[in-house]
């Protein structure tokens, strides 16, 4: 198998994102249908289906080491490359169309009284989860098929988490597809869970801008569609447009970027999830290092557990903080259990 050259890498990233974006759109429409929510225009999936007809062939060609793009171009030169760019622009337009609707839904007062808005939020969570899951699984498959095992392994560790969250998102749709009355408490939880969807959509738009302008000599703040006065703040802090676009999508400032980044947290979505759970960067990194997700960290922190102690309990299969043994008693047991081991060690 040939080395993963720049043309293959670019084609893999482009086609994977394109597939993920439209797959998210398809599952979004399916969720809206299940929820019987009549807010989508007629023919909403027309472009998605057209794209998938082409993607099947393009991905097959890619598996045979035939890239759709060449990094030596200054602009798309083939019909397929031009078509792929057109589909990317369509995906970007859809994200820009949906974003303000989700933002409006999130700001709706008395959410439990507006069933269609509630259903829109539930379906939007599926869209974000499906897009992420498809991107990770497809990219892993493409890299593996091309023999780029180092690239594949960098993606592999995210597969289980993405799949699990998609299952959670689909279970949310199941809850709200029932005909029962939506409680205020349930809708408040939904609002919080969907709160990052507009940021996800802004991030997809940024991804699309990067890929649409991939043949430009430099990806500038103008190409990132960041206003000049705002861009200046990022420039003054020597933060490039690519990184700025992602962090800005999730509502972070240049100072936030540096605060999270100095602790090694370089992903804006990850930082946003911890911030939504009310963790400061210095606190979040302790739980991240233990491999504990925000939803679990909240429970254990509220029960006055530090991250290492919570991780120890979770490794033992204890998922409920209230069922964790008393600290002093447990430490004593640990000493007793380790006594023989220590003696052997000496």
What pLDDT is attached to residue 327?
Answer: 63
Tell me which long-range contacts 235-243 makes (C-beta under 8 A, separation of at least 24).
242/210
The token pair that represents 221 in the structure block: 């703040």
**Residues of the chain scoring pLDDT < 70:** 1-3, 327-346
pLDDT digits (tens, 9 = 90+) for 13-69: 999 999 999 999 999 999 999 999 999 999 999 999 999 999 999 999 999 999 999
How far are the Cα atoms of 21, 35, 126 from residue 38, in angstroms, in the given order? Answer: 22, 9, 17
What pLDDT is attached to residue 3?
Answer: 66
What pLDDT is attached to residue 178?
Answer: 80
DSSP state of 217: S
Distance CA 116, CA 99 (A): 16
What pLDDT is attached to residue 335?
Answer: 43
325: buried, middle or exposed (CB in 10 Å: 19+, 13-18, 0-12)?
A: middle
C-alpha triplet 314, 316, 322: angle, nearest 5°: 60
């Amino acid at each position: 198998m040939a080395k993963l050259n720049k043309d293959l890498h670019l084609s893999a990233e482009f086609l994977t994102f394109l597939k993920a974006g439209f797959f998210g759109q398809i599952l979004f429409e399916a969720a809206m249908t299940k929820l019987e929510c009549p807010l989508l225009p007629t023919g909403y999936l027309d472009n998605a289906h057209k794209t998938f007809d082409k993607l099947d062939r393009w991905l097959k060609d890619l598996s045979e080491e035939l890239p759709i793009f060449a990094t030596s171009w200054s602009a798309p030169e083939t019909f397929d490359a031009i078509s792929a760019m057109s589909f990317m622009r369509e995906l970007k337009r859809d994200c820009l169309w949906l974003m303000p609707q989700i933002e409006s839904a999130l700001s709706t007062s008395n959410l439990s009284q507006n069933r269609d808005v509630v259903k829109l939020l539930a379906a939007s969570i599926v869209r974000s989860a499906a897009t992420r899951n498809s991107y990770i699984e497809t990219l892993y498959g493409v890299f593996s098929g091309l023999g780029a095992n180092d690239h594949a392994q960098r993606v592999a560790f995210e597969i289980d988490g993405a799949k699990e969250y998609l299952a959670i998102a689909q279970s949310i749709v199941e809850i709200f597809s029932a005909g029962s009355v939506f409680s205020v408490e349930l809708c408040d939880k939904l609002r919080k869970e969907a709160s990052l969807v507009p940021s996800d959509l802004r991030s997809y738009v940024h991804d699309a801008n990067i890929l649409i302008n991939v043949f430009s000599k430099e990806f500038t703040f103008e190409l990132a569609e960041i206003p000049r006065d705002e861009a200046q703040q990022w420039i003054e802090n020597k933060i490039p447009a690519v990184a700025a676009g992602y962090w800005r999508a999730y509502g972070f400032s240049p100072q936030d970027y540096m605060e999270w980044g100095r602790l090694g947290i370089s992903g804006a979505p990850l930082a946003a999830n911890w911030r939504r759970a009310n963790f400061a960067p210095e606190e979040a990194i302790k739980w991240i290092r233990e491999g504990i997700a925000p939803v679990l960290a909240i429970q254990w922190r509220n029960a006055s557990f530090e991250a290492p102690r919570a991780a120890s309990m979770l490794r033992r299969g204890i998922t409920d903080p209230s069922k964790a043994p008393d600290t002093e008693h447990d430490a004593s047991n640990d000493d007793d259990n380790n006594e023989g081991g220590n003696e052997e060690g000496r």
